[in-house]
Amino acid sequence: MSAQMTGLAGDKASGEAESQGQAGSTIPVTCHGVIGKLAISADLGVAFGLVEENGEQGGALRACCGQAPVPFEIRQEELIGGSMEGACDFRVWYCRPDCRVAGKPIRRLRKSARMSCATEEAAAQAVQLLRDAALPKKKCVQRRLLVILNPCSGRGRARKAFSKHVRPILEAAGFHLDFRETKGPGHATEIVKDAHLETVDAVVAVGGDGTIFEILQGYFNGADWEQRVKTPFCLVPSGSGNALAANCGLWTLETAAYAICKGRTRPLDIFSVVQPPSQRYFAFLSIYYGMMANLDHGTDHLRWMGSCRFTLGAIHEILQQRKYAATVAYLPAASRHFACEDVPHKTLGEKGCGHTEADAPSMNHQSHNGKEQSQDAPIACPDSDQKTTPGSCSSAGPPLPLLRALGPRDALKLGSIAEVHPGWQVLTPQETSFFAAVNLPMLDFHSRTGPEADFDSGCLDIVYVPEIANRRQGLEWLGLLGKGQHLERSITHLRKARAMIIEPHSTGTYLVVDGEAIPYKRVYLEVHPSLCNAIVA
Ligand SMILES: Nc1ncnc2c1ncn2[C@@H]1O[C@H](COP(=O)(O)OP(=O)(O)OP(=O)(O)O)[C@@H](O)[C@H]1O
């Protein structure tokens, strides 16, 4: 901490903050009976310095933490804010990194230091200065959050966990919380539909990916969806899988709370999931059937196990050695993002992708929020209308130019789609032991299913295994999946797609989008690059 911040020889008695110009303010305080000054700066953070009996600065900068003053400073990036504690007492809140193991996300531990001022006004002023210094002003302009808590997510401990680990941090940062609890499935969508998202800095889900999925549906309500998607969302991990939190580096409740306070965001692709005649969902994570669907949706009754239910479900599926059939057609991401040669693991029997961007139908790229395609504005399609094109089934949300270019849905033959629509390909074989199309690398904290997927890649990564030879190979493959090393095995195939159609054929499985089962019938998907913003660590 610089000497500039520690200008400590001020007026002890007044209890007023002294302005230090650009550097910040200093406030006379006591900490465990030791007289000192608290220097607060939006650039440098916080420093508590001792004042010796003659009123001069007491040697090296020291601050108070615990029972005795110890050398101490809080950098601005660690500072969260402050809270009042009794009449003249207040607490400085900050989050310290817990571990910095290479390649691992940084976890943060919540910490605080208690101090006193001469008057209640001075303490309140210190709290306000701490909050102002901690928050990135351009990002958290309103200091309001819409918090949606699903009390039934994960093992049902979200409420307690939020009160204990998250609320104190958000309140110390000075956020006003518009706090809502869901009353049942679909309620989170209704809450967001009715909310004025422009009045909050972020929508915070306290639950799992299903809660985020429901929230996302609420974003696309009404004609002003383009404005609404600008409000970032965040998952405070309290569910079973918590994939969004895992991908955003929010590995603990405190880390998530800290990230909300700092307001760092990343653009995130969203994909439309259309089931004619009239259903359209918006998804952020994945679509799968077969093994993945069964180990996720099929283990819902084991919710009490937490994320262990997925491991158990996966082992059960591997031991069963089942294969699942579906016709999958896709439009490869042969564009600025990915040259075809960049994509390893070509499938036997599949045509090489010698297409160019010009080959694919309606290749005009979407800009953020799909503004470039305003001429493709979606058409509302009544349930009875069987002639609508696949991409036209929505009353709100971005246009679907790639699906729309396919023409009337009832004329679309998936098996021969490539002959009629250059650029499209059909995945072979139809039967696979494993199939998942993912928008983000991690499907929970323990599996990197799509290690090459990225937030704003503009495509879905289709990861599939035509055949797992035996149980031993299956269990070994599962182990590699956890580390994201399964792509190194020749049995694993990867395709990158900007649009996709899946027609499932097998019985005994589900079609699962972002962990939620949807009707088991043909589904059309299209990626909307960088449409939303997620809060990241
Ligand atoms: N009050 C409620 N009572 C019962 N179910 C609810 C309630 N609120 C939401 N739900 C439902 O709970 C389900 C599970 O929620 P969520 O996905 O957040 O947790 P999870 O399944 O444990 O986590 P993950 O999806 O990350 O594995 C959702 O399908 C949602 O519709």
Q: Are residues 58 and 152 in the same domain?
A: no
Which tokens sit at 529? Answer: 């690059």
Report the pLDDT averaged over residues 341-361: 33
Number of domains in the chain: 3
Q: Residue 164 carries which side chain, given as an amino acid letter? A: K
What's the pLDDT score for residue 405?
Answer: 93
Same domain as 220, residue 76: no
**157/119 same-domain check:** no
The helix or strand, by DSSP H or E, that contains position 122, with its residue range, turns out to be helix 120-134
Structural domain range at position 82: 18-134
* pTM assigned to the model: 0.83
CA distance 526 to 522: 14
Q: How far is the CA of 5 from the centre of ligand 1 (A)?
A: 48
Copy the structure tokens of residue 88.
């003249």
Query: Do residues 244 and 312 share a domain?
Result: no
Question: What value does the mean pLDDT take over residues 432-443?
Answer: 96
Q: How far is the CA of 250 from the centre of ligand 1 (A)?
A: 19
CA 241 to chain CA centroid, nearest Å: 12
Q: What is the mean pLDDT of residues 323-337?
A: 83
Question: Nearest residue CA, atom 5 of ligand 1?
Answer: 184
Residue ID of nearest Cα to ligand 1 atom 6 = 184
More confident residue, 525 or 140: 525
Residue 387 has pLDDT above 60, yes or no: no
Read off φ and ψ for residue 69, nearest 5 degrees: -60, 135
Do 105 and 167 share a domain, yes or no?
no
Ligand 1 centre distance from Cα of residue 149 (Å): 10
Same structural domain, 393 and 515:
yes
> Using N-to-C axis directions, what is the helix angle for 187-194 and 209-219, rounded to 10°?
40
Instruction: Specify whether 327 is located in the same domain as 432.
Output: yes
Atom of ligand 1 nearest to the CA of 154: 22
Segment holding 80, helix H or strand E: strand 79-84
Report yes or no on 139 lying in a domain: no
**Pair 245, 121 in one domain:** no
Q: Check if the beta carbon of residue 238 is closer than 8 Å to that of residue 157.
A: yes
Q: Residue 298: which CATH number?
A: 2.60.200.40
Ligand 1 binding residues, C-beta < 6 A: 150-154, 182-185, 187, 207-211, 214, 239-242, 515-516
Asked if 376 and 491 sit in the same domain, the reply is yes
Ligand 1 atom nearest 186 alpha carbon: 31
The enclosing domain of 120 has a CATH number of 2.30.29.30
CA of 202 to the centre of ligand 1 (A): 20
Q: What is the pLDDT of residues 26-47, one digit of tens each?
A: 888 888 777 888 889 888 888 8
- Among 211, 215, 310, which is best to mutate for testing ligand 1, by the most ligand atoms less than 8 A from CB? 211
364 CA to middle of ligand 1, Å? 37
Q: Where are the alpha helices (DSSP H) in 415-483?
A: 417-420, 471-483
- The CATH number given to whatever domain includes residue 170 is 3.40.50.10330
Residues 462 and 328 in one domain: yes
Residue to mutate, 153, 187, 311, ligand 1, most ligand atoms under 8 Å from C-beta: 153
